[in-house]
Structure 1
Amino acid sequence: MKWFHLIRRWRRWRATRLPFPNEWNEILNKNFPLDRTLSQEDRHRLRYLIQIFLYEKNIRGLNGLAITDEIRVTVAAQACLLLLHLDEDDFPNLYSVLIYPTAYEASHTEYLEGGLIRESRDLRLGETSKRGAVLLSWQDAKYGAADIHDGQNVVLHEFAHQLDLENNVADGAPLLPRRSMYLAWARVFSKAYSELQKDIEHHHKHVMSAYGATNAAEFFAVATETFFEKPLALKNQHFELYEQLRLFYRQDPAKRARNIDRKS
């Protein structure tokens, strides 16, 4: 275990020994406006995390997509936003990020009663594999980075799943900083999940996407998107849910949003 930590530290040093390239800063300025809302300390931390991410993760294009620095940095910035104040500085179970040019078709197997199996294909913007891979549509990843207020971001969504899977179970409960937090987390998330399902059933408007009503894992991923992109609305409508996410991510996007409003 000691050797593992020494190798890890050496790899971190290798990844961050050189200054953050100016070309990458230009990409962030152009493609990721949320970066400009961060404090100087957080912007520095984000760049450190991006360097580690791009050094350690295999990013590969599919269906003829040529991987450029624009793609790498834009995706990494969004993923690393989740890690900004967490104790860990990477996604330990992730090895590869596979990127399609646009939304892609994938097969889906559904097991029905009586031992029947139904095969289908659907169009996807992204997905997370338990085998250490995230799949993304570049078109949608770029759009999500550019529009930071619509509450929809496929990169935040899929990498929230990565955090959820760190305990090897996709159940909407990631590894929390303290064991004492799990009881409140379960109570708040169960209540909010049930409320979303009822709102969808009765065709009521909700700050979160209806996709969050699919299951507990999707609820956490959609809640994460909303937390970072519609923080004021989420805090106003679901204060307890916002607080649980704030305690987990150790970030306060609503405070950042209010600071921007005061400056503008």
Structure 2
Amino acid sequence: MSPLMIIGLLAVLLIAYVLLKPYWIAHKRQKIRQRPFEKSWREILKRNVPYFYRMPADLQLQLKQHIQVFLAEKQFVGFKGIEITDEIRVTIAAQACLLILNRPTDYYSKLRYIYVYPVAFITHHSGHDGAGVLQNQKRVLSGESWNHGKVVLSWRDSKEGAKDFNDGRNVVIHEFAHQLDQETGSANGAPYLPNNSQHNWSSILTKAFQELQQRAVRGEPSLLDYYGATNPAEFFAVASEVFFEQPTQLQRDSIELYQQLSQYYQVNPAIW
């Protein structure tokens, strides 16, 4: 076989691989979803994720299937001496997969690793202060989302967030909302949306974001954490936490914001 024929054959094989890969992945995921959900995982959900049993039966089944695929595809890595167990994996996955119910999903396609610390962790970032001077900034965080395939979480905060599902604070939901946001590039508060919904999303979320900024300046009580006033990306993540954990309060406080999030996430947690 001549070198030219070999190159042509390799090109054909490469094209076939690219074209067939999505079908192979879909087939593999379907096989995973058809497996029985492990009994020990059900016990973890019962113990650590009480909101699971408030959900409609069809969403419970869907969530379990998403958990199976998520755990088959994502790698958990422990830091600071923490040992990765099924309790950690299932508890975190159950919260992350809430955000992809009822929607076509590629299971956070850019995400490869979930880094888990025992408690809140310290990060160092370089940034400019108000005078434009470059500073090395140290922060204590319970979670962080990176746009190159990693989410970092505190296990203690992740576990507490799942157990107390009524306070509007959930680090896993927050960081995985950032992952959805980052699927279109850098996080900017505008995840992938159908073209016909982009205008309403932009106008309604911008208005709600500005209202939160004004409340923060005036020191007024707010359902949404003031951290959401930092920028549109943080607003989307904070609003997502409240949408899933305090849906009836969000409906009462801002029906337009609730409706936009309900349309995006394709669920209505206010009736769970």
Q: So what's the TM-score if we normalise by structure 1?
A: 0.94
Give the equivalent residue in structure 2 for 1:236. 252
Find out whether 1:180 has 2:196 as its counterpart: yes
Instruction: Give SS of 1:73's match.
Output: helix
Structure 1: distance between partners of 2:205 and 2:43: 38
CA drift of 1:193 comes to 0.3
CA drift of 1:112 comes to 4.1
Is the 2:127–2:135 Cα contact (8 Å) retained in structure 1? yes
Aligned pairs, how many? Answer: 255
Instruction: Give SS of 1:122's match.
Output: strand
Give the equivalent residue in structure 1 for 2:10. none
CA drift of 1:7 comes to 2.3
Is the 1:49–1:89 Cα contact (8 Å) retained in structure 2? no
Structure 2: distance between partners of 1:251 and 1:18: 25
Give the equivalent residue in structure 2 for 1:31. 48
Is the 1:126–1:135 Cα contact (8 Å) retained in structure 2? yes
Query: Which amino acid in structure 2 is aligned with residue 149 of structure 1?
Result: N
Is the 2:147–2:186 Cα contact (8 Å) retained in structure 1? no
Q: Superposed, which structure 2 residues align to 1:80-119 within 5 Å?
A: 80-112=97-129, 116-119=133-136
Of all paired residues, the percent bearing the same amino acid is: 41
* Deviating 4+ runs (over 3 angstroms): 112-115
Structure 2: distance between partners of 1:203 and 1:57: 41
Unaligned runs of 5+ in 1: 257-264
Give RMSD over aligned pairs: 1.2
CA drift of 1:114 comes to 7.0
Is the 1:107–1:122 Cα contact (8 Å) retained in structure 2? yes
Query: Which amino acid in structure 2 is aligned with residue 220 of structure 1?
Result: F
Which of 45, 54, 63 aligns to 2:80? It is 63
Give the equivalent residue in structure 1 for 2:268. 252
More deviation, 133-142/106-115: 106-115
- Return closer, same or farther for 1:114/1:191 CA change in 2, 3 Å cut-off: closer
Query: Which amino acid in structure 1 is aligned with residue 200 of structure 2?
Result: A
Which of 148, 158, 180 aligns to 1:163? It is 180
Which of 20, 23, 28 aligns to 2:37? It is 20
CA drift of 1:120 comes to 2.0
Give the equivalent residue in structure 2 for 1:41. 58
Find out whether 1:205 has 2:259 as its counterpart: no
Q: How far does the alpha carbon of each residue in 1:82-129 deviate from its partner, in whole angstroms, 9 at most, with x for none? A: 111111151111010000000001102112477621012110000001
Find out whether 1:145 has 2:195 as its counterpart: no
Give the equivalent residue in structure 2 for 1:215. 231
Instruction: Give SS of 2:212's match.
Output: helix
Structure 2: distance between partners of 1:11 and 1:62: 30
Q: So what's the TM-score if we normalise by structure 2?
A: 0.91
Structure 2: distance between partners of 1:5 and 1:52: 15
Find out whether 1:224 has 2:240 as its counterpart: yes
Structure 2: distance between partners of 1:17 and 1:236: 39
Which of 24, 28, 32 aligns to 1:7? It is 24
Instruction: Give SS of 1:92's match.
Output: coil
Indicate the structure (1 or 2) with the bigger Cα radius of gyration: 2
Unaligned runs of 5+ in 2: 1-17
Instruction: Give SS of 2:183's match.
Output: helix
Structure 2: distance between partners of 1:6 and 1:200: 48
